[in-house]
Chains A and B, each alone.
Chain A
Amino acid sequence: MGQTALVGDTQPVLVTPEPVVTVRDICKRYRKQIAVEGVDLTIQPGEIYGLIGPDGAGKSSLMKAIAGVLTFDRGQLEVFGERIDSEAAAERVKGRIGFMPQGLGLNLYAELSVEENIDFFAALREVPPELLAERKHKLLTMTRLENFLDRPMKQLSGGMKQKLGLICTLIHEPKLVILDEPTTGVDPVSRRDFWAILADLLRERGITALVSTAYMDEAARFHRLSLIYAGRVLAEGEPDQIRQQAPGSLIEIKVEPQIEALRRLKVKFPQTEAVGAVIRVFVAVASTEQATEQVKAVLDGLAIDDIHGIETELEDAFVALLRQRHLADEQAAANPQIPVTTAAPTPIGGEIAIEAAGLSREFGDFRAVDNVSFKVMSGEIFGLLGANGAGKTTVIKMLTGILPPSGGSGQVAGANMHSASQAIKERIGYVSQAFSLYQDMTVLENIRLYARIYAVPRKQINQRTEWVIEMAGLAGVENRLAGKLSMGIRQRLALGCALVHRPQVLFLDEPTSGVDPIGRRRFWDILMQMARVEKVAILVTTHNMGEAEHCDHLALMHAGQIITDATPEQMKLSLQRDAGELLEIVTDQPLMALQIVEQAGFEGAALFGQRIHLLAKDPEQAGRQIAALLAQKQITLLGIHPRIPSIEDVFVYRIMAREQEARSR
């Protein structure tokens, strides 16, 4: 146990033991493509070190090099004090490393059962049988997979696959685990589980973890991290230190009319985005008062409902740092305005654009969608939020007319989904999760093909094509093959093709997964414009909780049912009403402190890097109780303050409550 205390609860920054990984000026190229360009970093024992960056930033290459499965062109790498300069050297440290590659369950065997997968990896790593039995039991209990031993891996949910992947990576008790985007595509509850397991392992086994992610909001989970972009490190350090590298204030404004305010603000402040009914502006001035004044000056004459400063997030800093280095999408910066269609089509369906009434769908015995009802108005952005397999895609498939429902009915764009599915298809646009345009055709060819599929009158094809190119910022890449474009541009092309026939309803199935923050902001700018100006009704599914905040209205889906259905603000308020305030606790020994508050029975206790989050009905009293508990164990309480809950907090709380209810019944 002495080791546990030493490795688990010591501030890694304060002591200077031998680093686990030292990277000096590493470069890696694939032919002419630069993957990693002069990266330096040091990982200390016992820390969770994060690599954050969009797809294609070079995270995977860097991790593979450290795991010893990818050679690099230049630079120095030391792992466990061993200089990695040959295959033989890499072999010497591999026994102490566990590496989980990117992709849900990609390192696992789909046909094998949970137990067979674990046994296979144990045999590969020559784990003795008695040790295997003990570890297997422990890890399976921890991941709550013990009841699924005989289930083939391919029948597990995304979150369960990822947990099984983690077990297989840990079965030989590595000292260093390298996890490449372990939480991408995993639902928030499994994501929380995942981080909790990692924290437990840190506490019990004293392992070190290197974890990459594309989600900026996961930054708080790390002790230290590097922001990676285009193969370079943009910033390095603790999450707060990085935020301070791009000082500024985030101002949240409620103002009418929103679109006019957005237009004005964008000219002066490039980091402006509409988030549902409010606008958030990042002003590169540390003082909130000054920043507020600057924003007010720009909005002179508009009806400001509410204006206040909120805490900046890592994503704001990331975008600001990119801009400072002129790495941002210059074209997007130069032309922030989106063209308005000359004459907007008149909505056929009146105010209600989409209506689902008691929709259900069964596949054999399995009820994928269970009595789902909601309404989406013209000009509204409606978010359908849920984990993989919650039934979101099935709902969309029924509403778009490619899957007949087992029960219930629905209206889309004024047409009945039972009797007029062909009419629905002509009136809607659809952007799918994976890029589903033709990669071997050029941008222009794709747009024209879809214009003709949707029977855009011949005389209007040129005009509509021009509109799409301008709207989606595709000028200059018209004749490039779609497959050669970056993810962000591809998704804008997909959006353009979906809008080419001026639909009144737009369906988007996880449209921005894998798109970098700047690309995502640009994408949402367009959606906002479509909703506000052209009065398009937009139904978007996502499991990115940050993105959910952009929606006017949200519905949480779980196991085929809608759990709550409200605006984001209402959701947060009702969480505060039902479960209490969200408290953030800062201590000098977070792992020990977490154990204490968990034992004391606080709801939703979770570790975020060095901080602990929990829910408390009576914050004052909870604060006193926690202070007393921590004092007993000689843990110093450095701070305790309320936070505004995120949509993720709402989601996790609601689903856990639902599961508890189901268990007690």
Chain B
Amino acid sequence: MSRFSKTTHHAVYRWWSRMVAMTGKELRQLSRDYLLVGAVLFLFTLDVMMAGGVKMDLNMATMMVHDADHSQASRELIYRFQPPYFKFGGEILNQKEGIELLDQGKALVVLDIPPRFQHDLIQGKPTSVQLQVDTGNTVLGTLAASYGGQIIGRYGFDIALQRMNITDAGLASVPMLADSHRVWYNPNQKDAWFMPISELLTIITVLAMMLPAAAAVREKERGTIEQLLVSPLTPTQIMLPKVVAMTLVILLGTALSLGLILRGVFDVPMKGSIPLFFAVTALYTFAMSGLGLFISTVSRNLAQATMLIIMVMMPIILLSGAWTPPEAMPPGIRQAMYLSPLYYYIEMAYGILLKGAGLKLLWDSLLGLTLIGSAVFGFGVWRFRRQFS
């Protein structure tokens, strides 16, 4: 009995010792690849920071004006198109010039004010202005059209009130529907909270596949795998240290990003449990590394592996809701989202960091990630083991 336990203890010690040696080897090799270390550092810090500078809002859109009236009223209207949304780009002499500028992309919006604009307003006659918008980029175009419409509508409303001689005090007696909404979780609707988190999650996705795949393919490319195969290491002992080492690196990078950039620069509140966030990240990284390992088994070199990773990554990100919300997806694709591990990870990451959600709320996402993650990781491991027999 004691002999049995002694040999078992010995075997466990040897297994552990080999795992530690191989994991140390992976970390050491990564630390000597200055280019790769530089890239990882850049992605987790500067790149996340840059993402915070990106806004999905209208920013100084150039507006050209064809003002055929040149009156106080027309100047007043033009004046209302203000930064930060709009920028007055100058006057043009005819409508043709406006179309040309839109074609060339030099203007996003062209405002056309007809002659006798002020005269008609004073006379109390209905009049109209024309707003031409370049909607090549649907997001910006829609925003410009909607903001422009609001500005013009508001101007018309003000003129109407003025004409009816209704003062601020009298305004209270006019029957009007006030629209008031309350914004949760990101009260100022700061893109600087949303975008960097989204970017961080994308980076974790890429690196979780890329780092173990690169480590495995490099062994193939340089022929070092041969020496490992004739050694007493099992395929699992060759593979698992890569996953463990790269997960450690990614968790370290994530910590750096959270502390230095999200908290330090953008003041993201981080309402939920940070250990929970790291645990979920570790789980996610493990799942994605399975995909990386699978890719390493079918590629002969790093270039092939990189191409494949990009190929696999694109649908995973598209289907995850990182760039477009699930609510915007057509029905078929919306169901397909349940296959993207990133979908669950995003749910949980935003939930924990912005909403302060705990396991009570996120258990279903966690279950989803665990199931799909185990499947992906198991598949990768199976393929990795199989390539050697």
A residues at B contact (CB < 8 Å): 400-402, 404, 422, 425-426, 428, 430, 432, 434-441, 445, 448-450, 452-455, 458, 481, 497, 507
Q: Are B224 and A437 in contact (CB under 8 A)?
A: yes
For B20, B25, B222, B231, the residue with the greatest tally of chain A CB atoms inside 10 Å of its CB is: B231
Q: Are A436 and B231 in contact (CB under 8 A)?
A: no
- What residues on A are CB-neighbors of B227 within 8 Å? 430, 432, 436-437, 497
Instruction: Name the CB-closest residue of A to B224.
Output: A436
Q: How far is the CA of A402 from the CA of B264 in the complex (A)?
A: 52
Q: Are B25 and A455 in contact (CB under 8 A)?
A: no
- What residues on A are CB-neighbors of B231 within 8 Å? 425, 430, 450, 453-454
- Cβ-neighbour of B223 out of A400, A428, A432, A454 (below 8 A): A432
Q: Are B22 and A441 in contact (CB under 8 A)?
A: no
Q: Using A449-B25, A453-B228 as known contacts, list a sample of 6 further A-B pairs with CB atoms less than 8 Å apart, ordered by residue number in A.
A: A432-B226, A436-B225, A450-B231, A453-B22, A481-B32, A507-B230
Q: Are A438 and B232 in contact (CB under 8 A)?
A: no
- What residues on A are CB-neighbors of B389 within 8 Å? 404
Q: Are B230 and A428 in contact (CB under 8 A)?
A: yes
Q: How far is the CB of A433 from chain B (nearest CB, A)?
A: 8
Q: How far is the CA of A370 from the CA of B200 in the complex (A)?
A: 56
Q: How far is the CB of B228 from chain A (nearest CB, A)?
A: 8
What would be 14 A-B contacts, judged by CB atoms less than 8 Å apart? A402-B388, A404-B389, A425-B231, A436-B225, A436-B226, A438-B29, A439-B222, A440-B29, A441-B25, A441-B32, A449-B22, A453-B232, A458-B17, A507-B230
- What residues on B are CB-neighbors of A437 within 8 Å? 224, 227
- What residues on B are CB-neighbors of A425 within 8 Å? 230-232
- What residues on B are CB-neighbors of A448 within 8 Å? 21
- What residues on A are CB-neighbors of B29 within 8 Å? 438, 440-441
Known: A435-B223, A438-B224, A441-B29. A430 touches B18 (CB 8 A): no
- What residues on B are CB-neighbors of A400 within 8 Å? 230
Known: A432-B223, A436-B226. A454 touches B232 (CB 8 A): yes
- Cβ-neighbour of A453 out of B18, B225, B226 (below 8 A): B18
Q: Is B233 positioned at the interface, with any CB of A under 8 Å from its CB?
A: yes
Q: Is B14 positioned at the interface, with any CB of A under 8 Å from its CB?
A: yes
Question: 1/0 per residue B191-234: CB within 8 Å of A?
Answer: 00000000000000000000000000000001111111111110
- What residues on A are CB-neighbors of B28 within 8 Å? 441, 445
Q: Is B33 positioned at the interface, with any CB of A under 8 Å from its CB?
A: yes
Known: A402-B388, A449-B21, A449-B25. A434 touches B223 (CB 8 A): yes
- What residues on A are CB-neighbors of B22 within 8 Å? 449, 453
Q: How far is the CA of A137 from the CA of B33 in the complex (A)?
A: 51
Q: How far is the CA of A428 from the CA of B17 in the complex (A)?
A: 20
Question: 1/0 per residue B99-121: CB within 8 Å of A?
Answer: 00000000000000000000000
Known: A402-B388, A438-B25. A455 touches B223 (CB 8 A): no
Q: Are A453 and B230 in contact (CB under 8 A)?
A: no
- What residues on B are CB-neighbors of A438 within 8 Å? 25, 29, 224
Q: Are B230 and A455 in contact (CB under 8 A)?
A: no
- What residues on A are CB-neighbors of B233 within 8 Å? 453
Instruction: Name the CB-closest residue of B to A421.
Output: B232
Q: How far is the CA of A425 from the CA of B228 in the complex (A)?
A: 10
Instruction: Name the CB-closest residue of A to B29.
Output: A440
Closest 8 CB pairs of A and B: A452-B21, A436-B227, A430-B230, A425-B232, A434-B223, A455-B14, A440-B32, A436-B223
Q: Are B33 and A440 in contact (CB under 8 A)?
A: yes
Q: How far is the CB of A263 from chain B (nearest CB, A)?
A: 32
Q: How far is the CA of A439 from the CA of B32 in the complex (A)?
A: 11
- What residues on A are CB-neighbors of B232 within 8 Å? 422, 425-426, 453-455
- What residues on B are CB-neighbors of A440 within 8 Å? 29, 32-33
Instruction: Name the CB-closest residue of B to A428.
Output: B230
Q: Are B17 and A455 in contact (CB under 8 A)?
A: yes
Interface residues of B in 271-311 (CB under 8 A from A): none
Q: How far is the CA of A317 from the CA of B223 in the complex (A)?
A: 35
- What residues on A are CB-neighbors of B224 within 8 Å? 436-438
Instruction: Name the CB-closest residue of B to A458.
Output: B17
Q: How far is the CA of A402 from the CA of B235 in the complex (A)?
A: 11
- What residues on A are CB-neighbors of B230 within 8 Å? 400-402, 425, 428, 430, 507
- What residues on B are CB-neighbors of A445 within 8 Å? 25, 28
Question: 1/0 per residue B356-389: CB within 8 Å of A?
Answer: 0000000000000000000000000000000011
Instruction: Name the CB-closest residue of B to A450.
Output: B231
Instruction: Name the CB-closest residue of A to B15.
Output: A455
Instruction: Name the CB-closest residue of A to B25.
Output: A449
Q: How far is the CB of B371 from chain A (nearest CB, A)?
A: 34
- What residues on B are CB-neighbors of A454 within 8 Å? 231-232
Q: How far is the CB of B36 from chain A (nearest CB, A)?
A: 11
Instruction: Name the CB-closest residue of B to A445.
Output: B28
Interface residues of B in 16-38 (CB under 8 A from A): 17-18, 20-22, 25, 28-29, 32-33
Instruction: Name the CB-closest residue of B to A427.
Output: B232
Q: How far is the CA of A415 from the CA of B20 in the complex (A)?
A: 28
Instruction: Name the CB-closest residue of B to A403.
Output: B389
Q: Are B229 and A452 in contact (CB under 8 A)?
A: no
Instruction: Name the CB-closest residue of A to B234.
Output: A422
Q: How far is the CA of A634 from the CA of B230 in the complex (A)?
A: 62
- What residues on A are CB-neighbors of B33 within 8 Å? 440
Instruction: Name the CB-closest residue of A to B24.
Output: A449
Q: How far is the CA of A437 from the CA of B226 in the complex (A)?
A: 9
Q: Are B17 and A452 in contact (CB under 8 A)?
A: yes
Q: How far is the CB of A88 from chain B (nearest CB, A)?
A: 36
- What residues on B are CB-neighbors of A449 within 8 Å? 21-22, 25
Q: Are A402 and B229 in contact (CB under 8 A)?
A: yes
- What residues on A are CB-neighbors of B226 within 8 Å? 432, 434, 436
Q: How far is the CA of A481 from the CA of B33 in the complex (A)?
A: 13
- What residues on B are CB-neighbors of A441 within 8 Å? 25, 28-29, 32
Instruction: Name the CB-closest residue of A to B22.
Output: A453
Q: How far is the CA of A430 from the CA of B20 in the complex (A)?
A: 23
Q: How far is the CB of B232 from chain A (nearest CB, A)?
A: 4
Q: How far is the CA of A445 from the CA of B32 in the complex (A)?
A: 13
Q: How far is the CB of A185 from chain B (nearest CB, A)?
A: 15
- What residues on A are CB-neighbors of B222 within 8 Å? 436, 439
Q: How far is the CA of A441 from the CA of B32 in the complex (A)?
A: 8
Q: Are B223 and A453 in contact (CB under 8 A)?
A: no
Q: How far is the CB of B317 from chain A (nearest CB, A)?
A: 32
- What residues on A are CB-neighbors of B14 within 8 Å? 455
Instruction: Name the CB-closest residue of B to A455.
Output: B14
Instruction: Name the CB-closest residue of B to A423.
Output: B232
- What residues on A are CB-neighbors of B225 within 8 Å? 436
Q: How far is the CA of A607 from the CA of B225 in the complex (A)?
A: 43
Q: How far is the CA of A401 from the CA of B234 in the complex (A)?
A: 12
- What residues on B are CB-neighbors of A401 within 8 Å? 230
Instruction: Name the CB-closest residue of B to A434.
Output: B223
Q: How far is the CA of A147 from the CA of B389 in the complex (A)?
A: 35
Q: How far is the CB of A643 from chain B (nearest CB, A)?
A: 39
Q: How far is the CB of A490 from chain B (nearest CB, A)?
A: 13
Q: How far is the CA of A435 from the CA of B223 in the complex (A)?
A: 7
Instruction: Name the CB-closest residue of A to B30.
Output: A440
Q: How far is the CB of A467 from chain B (nearest CB, A)?
A: 19
Interface residues of B in 221-271 (CB under 8 A from A): 222-233
Q: How far is the CA of A448 from the CA of B22 in the complex (A)?
A: 11
Q: How far is the CA of A441 from the CA of B24 in the complex (A)?
A: 11
Q: How far is the CA of A400 from the CA of B20 in the complex (A)?
A: 25
Q: How far is the CB of B217 from chain A (nearest CB, A)?
A: 15
Q: How far is the CA of A401 from the CA of B231 in the complex (A)?
A: 10
Instruction: Name the CB-closest residue of B to A439.
Output: B222
Q: How far is the CB of B71 from chain A (nearest CB, A)?
A: 72
Q: How far is the CA of A450 from the CA of B389 in the complex (A)?
A: 23
Known: A440-B29, A441-B25, A441-B29. A452 touches B18 (CB 8 A): yes
Instruction: Name the CB-closest residue of A to B233.
Output: A453
Q: How far is the CB of A361 from chain B (nearest CB, A)?
A: 14
Q: How far is the CB of A149 from chain B (nearest CB, A)?
A: 28
- What residues on A are CB-neighbors of B229 within 8 Å? 402
Q: How far is the CA of A432 from the CA of B22 in the complex (A)?
A: 20
Q: How far is the CB of A583 from chain B (nearest CB, A)?
A: 44
Q: How far is the CB of B225 from chain A (nearest CB, A)?
A: 8
